[in-house]
C-alpha cells in the first residue's frame, strides 16, 4: 500500500465533499457527481488490472461534477467541474490539468481547494492566463459558506 497515494486520495475526496456541500448550501445549484469513481466504481476498483489502459484513461478524464444552476423560467446553465486539492497553487500544474480536461470535456471548469482559500475558473481562462486561477467569488458561494468550508479543510487536511 502506497501511503502517499492514499493520502492524496483522501485529500481529493475531502476537497470534493467541501465543494459539493458549499455549492449545495447556496441553494442555487444542483450538484451531480459525474466522475468515474461515482458512475463506474467497479472499474475504478480494477483500473490497474485492465489490459486496455486507453479505455480507463479516457474514462478517468471525466470531471468530478456537473453543476446545474436553477435559472429563471426553468432555464439552467450546466458546468462540468473538476475538483482538486493543492497545498500550493502551481500555474504549470493548473495548465496541464486544464488542457487534459479540455481534450474531452469542453467547456469545463476547475475548482481548487487550497490552504489559502478556494479557486474557480473555466479551464480556457486558466490556460489563456498562463495558469492563473481566480478566487471563488461570492457570486458563486457567499463568504460565510466559504469560511466554513475552509475551516473544515484546515481541520481535515494537515501537512
Q: Which domains does the chain have, with CATH numbers?
A: 3-32+61-156 (3.40.1350)
More confident residue, 57 or 67: 67
CA distances from 91 to 80, 88, 110, 125 (A): 21, 10, 12, 12
pLDDT in the model for residue 17 = 96
With cell 472499474, the residue in question is 43
Q: How long is the chain?
A: 159
Q: Is the pLDDT of residue 52 over 60?
A: no
42 is written with which cell numbers? 467497479
- Greatest CA separation found in the chain? 51
pLDDT tens digits, 4-18 = 888 888 899 999 999
Q: Is the pLDDT of residue 57 over 70?
A: no
Q: Are strands 29-33 and 117-122 parallel, antiparallel or unpaired?
A: unpaired
8 A C-beta contact, residue 101 and residue 92: no
Q: Which of 55-69, 115-129, 143-157 has the lowest mean pLDDT?
A: 55-69
Q: Is the pLDDT of residue 141 over 60?
A: yes
pLDDT in the model for residue 8 = 85
User: How many Cβ atoms sit within 10 Å of the Cβ of residue 73?
Assistant: 4
Amino acid at each position: 500500500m502506497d501511503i502517499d497515494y492514499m493520502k492524496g486520495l483522501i485529500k481529493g475526496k475531502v476537497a470534493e465533499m467541501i465543494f459539493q456541500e458549499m455549492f449545495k448550501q447556496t441553494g442555487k445549484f444542483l450538484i451531480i457527481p459525474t466522475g468515474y469513481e461515482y458512475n463506474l466504481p467497479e472499474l475504478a476498483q480494477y483500473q490497474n488490472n485492465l489490459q486496455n489502459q486507453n479505455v480507463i484513461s479516457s474514462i478517468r478524464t471525466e470531471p468530478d461534477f456537473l453543476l446545474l444552476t436553477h435559472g429563471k423560467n426553468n432555464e439552467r446553465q450546466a458546468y462540468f467541474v473538476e475538483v482538486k486539492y493543492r497545498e500550493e497553487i502551481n500555474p504549470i500544474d493548473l495548465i496541464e490539468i486544464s488542457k487534459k480536461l479540455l481534450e474531452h470535456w469542453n467547456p469545463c471548469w476547475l475548482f481548487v481547494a487550497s490552504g489559502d482559500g478556494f479557486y474557480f475558473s473555466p479551464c480556457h481562462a486558466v490556460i489563456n492566463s498562463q495558469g492563473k486561477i481566480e478566487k471563488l467569488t461570492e457570486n458563486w458561494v457567499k463568504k460565510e459558506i466559504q469560511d466554513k468550508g475552509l475551516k473544515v479543510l484546515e481541520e481535515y487536511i494537515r501537512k
